[in-house]
Amino acid sequence: MAPRKEKQRNKQTRKGKQKHTLTAKEKRATESREDREVRLKKRREADQKKRDARSPEEIEAQSKKRRDAAKRKRDAESPGEREARTQKNRDTTSKKRQNRTALQVLVDKELHRIQEANRRANETAEQTTSRSQQDAAQHRQARAAETDEQTAARNNQDMQRTRQQRHDERTNNKVIPDFDATIEECSDIDRLDFISPESTSLASALHMFHLNRGFIPDVESEEGRKDVGTYIENEGVT
């Protein structure tokens, strides 16, 4: 069998019929836009089929492999390289944020919240402990690397964010007072959300006032504010 193949090859070479086989790179360079789209679509479908066929163990193994590789790469970085990478990520993120519309921002926030909730819901106790430890270590490292100016700026941002959150709580979740309602009727979580004990000191006072007096005071009126103030002084609510 082998001599016959050799004979055919020699015959083709002598007649000049040996054809040049195009490489993949040459094929890509000469293909049309439609052919390229068809080829990429087929490859995407094949890749998706492979991903769908993976077992949960394979998915976790591949994810762990990627995480370990990324961690080894980060650990091998010098301080200068780490700072350059961090700054590049910040610039990229900032540019993306500037180009997003308000609707995209809301969609991205909600999507991130859902993904984070699903990820945490599927965690084992060991994974939760490990993630908490990693988050705490990263937090400590970031704080240790801060300059005095960065610390002051971060504290200022945190304070402004807290003030804005409290303002939003009071503005967006304002409850219409119902002086005739009983405690049970007023204890709906949606109506009392803005006066939960975790909010401001005033909200905490309102919460206790409602529980003890049986109604929500009208803090928009002077009389209502005076009632709350008297209650705070007498009960020592802070």
Q: State how far the Cα of 4 lies from the Cα of 13, in Å rounded to an integer.
A: 14
Is residue 96 included in any domain, yes or no?
no
pLDDT one-digit tens code per residue, 152-169: 888 888 888 877 777 776
The pLDDT of residue 65: 93
- The count of domains in the chain is 1
- How much of the chain is helix, strand and coil, in % rounded to 5? 75, 0, 25
Average pLDDT over residues 182-205: 44
> Residue 140 is part of which domain span?
102-145
pLDDT tier for residue 100 given thresholds of 50, 70 and 90? confident
pLDDT band at 19 (very low <50, low <70, confident <90, very high): low
Whole-structure pTM value:
0.31
Please tell me which residue, 68 or 9, carries the higher pLDDT value: 68
Is residue 2, in this structure, part of any structural domain at all? no
Instruction: Look at residue 31 and tell me if it is in a domain.
Output: no
Q: Is residue 119 part of a domain?
A: yes
Overall average pLDDT of the 57-73 stretch: 91
The amino acid occupying position 230 is T
